Homo-oligomer: A and B are copies of this chain.
């Protein structure tokens, strides 16, 4: 995974991470392309690596009793991914509130002559406690998400 600044980011979180993966045979369907639900799984991978890059690994958050559940998701499919394609998932934060955080994703085929955009998506996540009840994000975590900057 690589980190790089988002040149367009002014008043929103400036960190943008890039995760890479290769399309699995299991992810294709009989149309010969990746089944549409799998892009949500790839967004999840992007989010996991984004949070790790911030030093807030999601596995650790769950151990501390903070769960992030998807409350909304929106996807736009521009072009299909195919078996064995190299894929990159660019992830950044769009909005942080006391109880929710919205991530945005751009999923591309990682071609030698530059990325080809396949899917753009956003997911809004809501903070839950161990019992599945809404809670606020710890202030320290809100701080980290709001001021995400690439490490120099």
In the complex, what's the smallest C-beta–C-beta distance from A82 to chain B, in angstroms?
A: 8
Question: With an 8 A cutoff between CB atoms, is A139 at the interface?
Answer: no
In contact, B72 and A44 (Cβ under 8 angstroms): no
Chain B minimum-CB-distance residue to A30: B28
In contact, B59 and A83 (Cβ under 8 angstroms): yes
Give a binary string over A52-81; 1 marks a CB under 8 Å from any B CB, 0 the rest.
000001110010000101111111110010
- Chain B neighbourhood of A69, CB < 8 A: 31, 33, 36, 77, 80
Chain B minimum-CB-distance residue to A26: B41
Question: With an 8 A cutoff between CB atoms, is A118 at the interface?
Answer: no
Chain A residues with a Cβ under 8 A of chain B? 24-26, 28-33, 35-38, 40-41, 44-45, 48, 57-59, 62, 67, 69-77, 80, 83-84, 132
